[in-house]
Structures are given as structure tokens and as C-alpha cells.
């Protein structure tokens, strides 16, 4: 995929609503066959960027290229409207027309494009087949389940075989169980059909699961872009480290240098070793982020694995989460969380192992 041609590039996009910059020099690129997730908190600019790419929103500056065609460039005065960009949209509210059958909903875009009826029907039938909706063309939206409506919305975006589909939080209307199965169905469909897509979501798990690459937006800027494993496993900023995954955030002072990459830190007098992710320099305050799954509570006098620090910490509570327990230990003035298979005794001290490469100092 890194060698596939670029099907969509939005470069140096700037957009303000009034005085507020909503997109501040943002660039994204989608290659053929690739799913790029735009991930970010509510208000980070995801929808605006998607609408800019699709021609529904006019940026103040930047350039949008589809394949080899420039469809927006403010310096050259180019602005091809949405209809001329031929991208497939799937919105959060599926926006199916309730009074039209599934076939009419799916074929609507083709009718607007004045495709003759016979050809249109063939296209619609083929698209319904591809999405596992064979035989449902005569139904009305209210006669379908939430998951089926979701598929119809995707069918409607795919029917004219757009080079890229743009999906804006397409799963957020589904309830939790359906959402998980829809997520894997969507990922599978996108790869089986060889589609290229931009997938907007505020849900980190969804972004990691569905995308080949993730672009994390924060306040209208790209915080970090990379593969899901890069974003999850090697965040470059404190924001990125806390946005993805479940982690404890521990304020520390940097007490010593172990090496260029490792620092001795202290949280209210409790010392441990952390890896430097930024310029956490001697004598300064820093923040250490520790993912919950990295921390281990050691049994009795078990030998700790190499590459970490063993801390004697008091547990305050153990929460039952169903498939596991989550323990809250006091570390300095903060809470260090860890997972385990059984509850611990509140108020008792346990030996807790914190890996150096899982304790990130920013
Ligand atoms: N048409 C608009 N007029 C004014 N402000 C807007 C408009 N659309 C979006 N915004 C603002 O731009 C910011 C980004 O919005 P949006 O792109 O919808 O974010 P997201 O999809 O990440 O939640 C928000 O602060 C939002 O209030
Ligand atoms: Mg949005």
C-alpha cells in the first residue's frame, strides 16, 4: 500500500469559522486500497476536514487533489463542487429517504446522474449483492434492522463506484453489540472490495481496528499520523499517549539521568525509572504516562521480570470489570492503575512492577 497511487490528498488546509481556526494547516493523504481514520475528540475538526475533501465545505487555503485532478486550490481559483468530485458519503445519521424503497435509495445518485433505468437497476442489484442485501431492494428503510440500514447507506455511497468513500462516524448510531459486529463487517467489506476510505471517528478502538493509518487531530492540527501500532505503541506527545488506550498519568520530578533515553523520576518520594519521550530534563517536573496493561502486581515474593522497577504500593480499591479487576494504587499524589484476575485487599501494600519501556516521561 505505501507504493499504491495517492487517490486523495488534502494539503495545507486552513479553515476558520469566524475568528476560530478549525483546521490549522492540516494535510492528509489516502492511497488506493487504504483506510485512513481521522481520530479526535469532539470539535477537533474531523467533520470539517471530511467536508473540505468532499467539496461540502470551502477551506480558506490549501489544495485538494483526487487522483491526478486538482479539485480545490485557492491560489489557482479552482473549486470543483461536490457533485463533480464523485466521492461517496456515509453520514452518522444514515439519512435514508423513508418514503423510498431500498433500491430507490441506492439508485438515487445514479438517477441524478441520468444513468438509464436498465443500467441503473443492474448497478443497484450488483451493489446490494456485494453488501449482503440481496432481495431487500423492495423494502422500505423502516422494514430493516439498524445494521441493514447501515449497509444500505454504504450501498448508496458505493453505487457509482467512487474512488474514495468518506464516512463520518458511521457506526455511532448503532448500539454497543451491533457496533462491534458492524465494525468487523465494515473492515472486511472495505478490504474485500478493495475500497479506499476516510473514516471519521472519536472512538480510538474503532480507529485502531478499522484503519491502515490513523491521523490524530487535536484542536484543528495533526497531533500524530501513522499506523495504528505506531499511534498506540509509540505516541510522540503527552496528548497522544493519553488519548489512546487506558493509562495512569503521574506527575513526577526528574531526579537523575540513567542514560539519554532513561530518567530516574520521583512521584512524591517514590522513585522509579521511565523512558524519555520528550525533553524530560534533570530537576524539572514531568508527566509519566503508564498504560494499565503494562503494570503487574507481583505474587508474594515472585522474581520480577527484568527491565522494570518494583514499587511497594498501597492499594485503595479493586473494581470489578467483568473479565478482570482494576486496582487503584497510590503513587505519590496520583493513582497508578493495574489489571488483575482477582480483587486485592484495600489498605494492604503490594509489590507492583512498572516496566521502563512502558513508563513514558513527557
Ligand atoms: N458551520 C459552522 N459554523 C461555525 N462553527 C463551526 C461550523 N462547523 C463546525 N464548527 C466548529 O468547528 C469546530 C470543529 O467542528 P467539527 O469539524 O464538526 O469537529 P468534529 O467533527 O471533530 O467534532 C467545532 O468547534 C465546531 O463548533
Ligand atoms: Mg464530527
Q: Considering every ligand atom shown, identify the ligand nearest to the alpha carbon of residue 49 and give its number.
A: 1
The confidence band for 65, taking pLDDT boundaries of 50, 70 and 90, is very high
Least confidently predicted of 7-16, 64-73, 186-195: 186-195
Indicate whether 290 and 232 sit together in one domain: no
Indicate whether 206 and 63 sit together in one domain: yes
Does residue 1 belong to any structural domain of this protein?
A: no
pLDDT at 279: 67
pLDDT at 173: 79
Residue where a domain terminates, one of 239, 267, 294: 239
Q: What nine digits make up the cell of 277?
A: 519521550
CA of 25 to the centre of ligand 1 (A): 16
What residue owns the CA closest to ligand 1's atom 13?
A: 43
Cα separation of 359 and 287, whole Å? 10
Q: What is the CATH number of the domain that holds 78?
A: 3.40.50.300
Does residue 15 belong to any structural domain of this protein?
A: yes
Mean pLDDT across the stretch 139-145?
Answer: 94
Ligand 1 in contact with 15 (CB < 6 A)? Answer: no
Residue where a domain terminates, one of 215, 239, 263: 239
CA of 210 to the centre of ligand 1 (A): 24
Does residue 50 belong to any structural domain of this protein?
A: yes
Indicate whether 56 and 184 sit together in one domain: yes
Cα separation of 291 and 233, whole Å? 10
pLDDT at 282: 63
The confidence band for 172, taking pLDDT boundaries of 50, 70 and 90, is confident
Cα separation of 349 and 240, whole Å? 32
pLDDT at 91: 84
Phi, psi of 212 (to 5 degrees): -85, -35
Does residue 230 belong to any structural domain of this protein?
A: yes
Number of separate domains in the chain: 2
Indicate whether 207 and 288 sit together in one domain: no
Strand order across the 78-79 sheet: 20-31, 6-17, 61-66, 69-73, 78-79
pLDDT at 312: 97
Ligand 1 in contact with 46 (CB < 6 A)? Answer: yes
What residue owns the CA closest to ligand 1's atom 26?
A: 43
Does residue 144 belong to any structural domain of this protein?
A: yes
CA of 168 to the centre of ligand 2 (A): 7
**Residue with the three cell numbers 493509562:** 247
Mean pLDDT across the stretch 18-38?
Answer: 96
Does residue 281 belong to any structural domain of this protein?
A: yes
CA of 11 to the centre of ligand 1 (A): 19
Residue-wise pLDDT tens digits, 334-349 = 999 999 999 999 999 9
Indicate whether 234 and 306 sit together in one domain: no
Q: Which ligand 1 atom minimizes the distance to the CA of 48?
A: 17
Ligand 1 in contact with 308 (CB < 6 A)? Answer: no
Output the CA–CA distances (angstroms, integers) from residue 130 to 76, 87, 159, 239, 255, in the order listed.
Answer: 40, 19, 10, 40, 60
Indicate whether 208 and 326 sit together in one domain: no
Residue-wise pLDDT tens digits, 246-289 = 999 999 999 888 888 999 999 999 999 999 987 656 668 899 99
- Ligand 1: which of 16, 17, 28, 216 to mutate, most ligand atoms within 8 Å of CB? 17
Beta strands in 119-160 (DSSP E): none
Output the CA–CA distances (angstroms, integers) from residue 300 to 57, 98, 304, in the order listed.
Answer: 61, 63, 11
Mean pLDDT across the stretch 217-229?
Answer: 97
Cα separation of 12 and 28, whole Å? 9
Nearest to 315 by CA among 284, 293, 342: 342
Share of the chain above pLDDT 70, in %: 98
Residue where a domain terminates, one of 224, 239, 254: 239
Mean pLDDT across the stretch 105-109?
Answer: 92
pLDDT at 130: 86
The confidence band for 150, taking pLDDT boundaries of 50, 70 and 90, is confident
Indicate whether 78 and 174 sit together in one domain: yes
CA of 288 to the centre of ligand 1 (A): 32
Cα separation of 228 and 90, whole Å? 23
Indicate whether 316 and 204 sit together in one domain: no
Indicate whether 227 and 160 sit together in one domain: yes
Phi, psi of 268 (to 5 degrees): 55, 40
Helix (H, G, I), strand (E, B) or coil at 143: helix
Mean pLDDT across the stretch 163-175?
Answer: 89
CA of 250 to the centre of ligand 1 (A): 32
Domain range for 209: 6-239
Share of the chain above pLDDT 90, in %: 76
Q: Considering every ligand atom shown, identify the ligand nearest to the alpha carbon of residue 48 and give its number.
A: 1
pLDDT at 280: 59
Residue-wise pLDDT tens digits, 193-211 = 889 999 999 999 999 999 9
Query: What's the longest Cα–Cα distance across the chain?
Result: 77
Mean pLDDT across the stretch 323-328?
Answer: 97
Q: Which residues contact 65 (CB under 8 A, 6 or more apart)?
A: 6, 8, 9, 11, 71
Check the CA dihedral 95-100-103-104 and report its sign: negative
Indicate whether 286 and 138 sit together in one domain: no
Task: Please provide the average confidence, as pLDDT, over all residues in the chain.
Answer: 93
Cα separation of 331 and 121, whole Å? 65
The pTM (predicted TM-score) of the whole model is 0.91
Cα separation of 24 and 4, whole Å? 28
Give the orientation angle of helix 117-130 with respect to helix 146-158, to 10 degrees.
Answer: 130
- Ligand 1: which of 24, 42, 48 to mutate, most ligand atoms within 8 Å of CB? 48
Residue-wise pLDDT tens digits, 109-119 = 888 888 899 99
The confidence band for 175, taking pLDDT boundaries of 50, 70 and 90, is confident
Cα separation of 70 and 187, whole Å? 29
**Residue with the three cell numbers 522497577:** 309
Indicate whether 40 and 146 sit together in one domain: yes
Indicate whether 230 and 250 sit together in one domain: no
Tell me, what DSSP letter sits at residue 43?
Answer: T
Ligand 1 in contact with 44 (CB < 6 A)? Answer: yes
CA of 41 to the centre of ligand 1 (A): 12
What residue owns the CA closest to ligand 1's atom 8?
A: 48
Amino acid at each position: 500500500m505505501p507504493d499504491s497511487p495517492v487517490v486523495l490528498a488534502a494539503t495545507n488546509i486552513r479553515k476558520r469559522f469566524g475568528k476560530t481556526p478549525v483546521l490549522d494547516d492540516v494535510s492528509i493523504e489516502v492511497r488506493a486500497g487504504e483506510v485512513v481514520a481521522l481520530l479526535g475528540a469532539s470539535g477537533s475538526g474531523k467533520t470539517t476536514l471530511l467536508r473540505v475533501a468532499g467539496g461540502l465545505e470551502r477551506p480558506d487555503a490549501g489544495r485538494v487533489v483526487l487522483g491526478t485532478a486538482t479539485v480545490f486550490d485557492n491560489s489557482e481559483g479552482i473549486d470543483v463542487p461536490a457533485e463533480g468530485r464523485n466521492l461517496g458519503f456515509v453520514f452518522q445519521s444514515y439519512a435514508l429517504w423513508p418514503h423510498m424503497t431500498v433500491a430507490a435509495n441506492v439508485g438515487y445518485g445514479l438517477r441524478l446522474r441520468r444513468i438509464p433505468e436498465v443500467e441503473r437497476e443492474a448497478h443497484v442489484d450488483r451493489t446490494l449483492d456485494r453488501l449482503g442485501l440481496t432481495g431487500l431492494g423492495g423494502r422500505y428503510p423502516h422494514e430493516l434492522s439498524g445494521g441493514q440500514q447501515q449497509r444500505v447507506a454504504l450501498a448508496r455511497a458505493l453505487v457509482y463506484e467512487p474512488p474514495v468513500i468518506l464516512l463520518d462516524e458511521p457506526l455511532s448510531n448503532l448500539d454497543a453489540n451491533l457496533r462491534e459486529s458492524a465494525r468487523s463487517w465494515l473492515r472486511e467489506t472495505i478490504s474485500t472490495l478493495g475500497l479506499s476510505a476516510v473514516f471519521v471517528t472519536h472512538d480510538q478502538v474503532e480507529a485502531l481496528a478499522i484503519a491502515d493509518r490513523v491521523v490524530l487531530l487535536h484542536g484543528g492540527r495533526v497531533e500524530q499520523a501513522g499506523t495504528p501500532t505506531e499511534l498506540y505503541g509509540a505516541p510522540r506527545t503527552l496528548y497522544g499517549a493519553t488519548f489512546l488506550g487506558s493509562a495512569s498519568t503521574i506527575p513526577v520530578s526528574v531526579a537523575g539521568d540513567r542514560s539519554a533515553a532513561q530518567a530516574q523520576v520521583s512521584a512524591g518520594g517514590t522513585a522509579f525509572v521511565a523512558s524519555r519521550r520528550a525533553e524530560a530534563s534533570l530537576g524539572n517536573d514531568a508527566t509519566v504516562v503508564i498504560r494499565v496493561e503494562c503494570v503487574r502486581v507481583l505474587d508474594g515474593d515472585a522474581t520480577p521480570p527484568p527491565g522494570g522497577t518494583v514499587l511497594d504500593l498501597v492499594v485503595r480499591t479493586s473494581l470489578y470489570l467483568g473479565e478482570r479487576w482494576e486496582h487503584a494504587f497510590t503513587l505519590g499524589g496520583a493513582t497508578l492503575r493495574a489489571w488483575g484476575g482477582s480483587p486485592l485487599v484495600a489498605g494492604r501494600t503490594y509489590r507492583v512492577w512498572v516496566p521502563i519501556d512502558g513508563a513514558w516521561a513527557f
